[in-house]
């Protein structure tokens, strides 16, 4: 089975040895994604909602680079440092996935890799149309 990888160029990719997303056949897996922009700055400040929206947009962009779209997402996993903000994170999730909600898990964690980060999200997708394989 062929694999295609998408790198977004963050320093973590080379430091840790991973890529933002991998496509294997009709499946696309997007690594844990946070609200860090291309300049390495945290987006959204102290707002779990704003960080969640930015992280999701970044994850969806990675998904799209490998031929996927929001409707293809079958599972999300959230890691949140402030569990009491679950409704804000959930609102961001609902706004992105609308009428095509995936299975989802939200887990409270004491801290993410950068103490300013409040949320991290992973996406798993199954491309609805395997003929859309970009290879």
Percent of the chain whose predicted confidence (pLDDT) is above 90: 81
Q: What are the tens digits of pLDDT across the range 107-127?
A: 999 999 999 999 999 999 999
pTM of the predicted protein model: 0.91
Report whether pLDDT(130) > 60: no
- 15 CB burial (10 A radius; 0-12, 13-18, 19+): exposed
Mean pLDDT of 36-42: 91
Angle (CA) 131 134 135, round 5°: 95
pLDDT at 9: 83
- For residue range 40-80, list pLDDT tens digits in order: 899 999 999 999 999 999 999 999 999 999 999 999 999 99
CATH 3.30.1330.40 fits 3-124, yes or no: yes
């Amino acid at each position: 089975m062929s694999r295609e990888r998408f790198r977004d160029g963050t320093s973590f990719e080379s430091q840790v040895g991973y890529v933002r997303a991998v496509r294997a056949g009709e499946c696309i897996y997007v690594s844990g994604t946070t609200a860090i922009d291309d300049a390495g700055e945290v987006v959204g400040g102290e707002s779990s909602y704003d960080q969640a929206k930015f992280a999701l947009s970044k994850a969806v962009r990675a998904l799209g680079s490998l031929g996927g779209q929001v409707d293809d997402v079958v599972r999300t996993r959230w890691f949140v440092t402030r569990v009491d903000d679950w409704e804000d994170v959930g609102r961001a999730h609902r706004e992105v996935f609308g009428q095509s909600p995936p299975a989802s898990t939200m887990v409270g964690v004491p801290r993410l890799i950068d103490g300013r980060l409040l949320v991290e999200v992973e996406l798993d997708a199954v491309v609805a149309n395997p003929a859309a394989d970009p290879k």
